[in-house]
């Protein structure tokens, strides 16, 4: 499975388990991102236990971990730990995406 090329949209891959406090906090922030950016950004949860090949491919060792892909499928930014809405928004702005 590939995370790259998401129909000319930026993709944020959210690597985590969805259970720990930090993963839940990141998920809540990403829901706000989905609502604000609607069709401009794709957010995809990658469950590190269920999708081990993707986790290994992108060398994710600590969660939560976000990987930002440009519309051509290239990794443009990575972040380990909870990333705030403001920081995500700033990163998306640097990638040319506005809400």
How far is Cα 38 from Cα 27, in angstroms, rounded to an integer?
Answer: 16
pLDDT band at 7 (very low <50, low <70, confident <90, very high): confident
| DSSP per residue, 29-56 | HHHHHHHHHGGGEEEEEEETTT-HHHHH
Q: Where are the domains of the chain?
A: 10-94
CATH code for 10-94? 3.40.30.10
pLDDT in tens, 23-79: 999 999 999 999 999 989 999 999 999 999 999 999 999 999 999 999 888 999 999
């Amino acid at each position: 499975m590939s995370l790259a090329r998401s129909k000319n949209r930026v993709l944020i891959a959210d690597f985590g388990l969805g259970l720990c406090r930090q993963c839940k906090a990141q998920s809540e922030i990403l829901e706000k991102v989905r609502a604000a950016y609607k069709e401009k950004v794709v957010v995809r949860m990658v469950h590190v236990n269920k999708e081990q090949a993707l986790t290994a491919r992108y060398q994710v060792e600590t969660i939560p971990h976000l990987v930002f892909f440009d519309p051509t499928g290239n990794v443009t930014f990575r972040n380990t730990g909870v990333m705030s809405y403001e920081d995500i928004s700033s990163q998306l702005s640097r990638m040319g995406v506005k809400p």
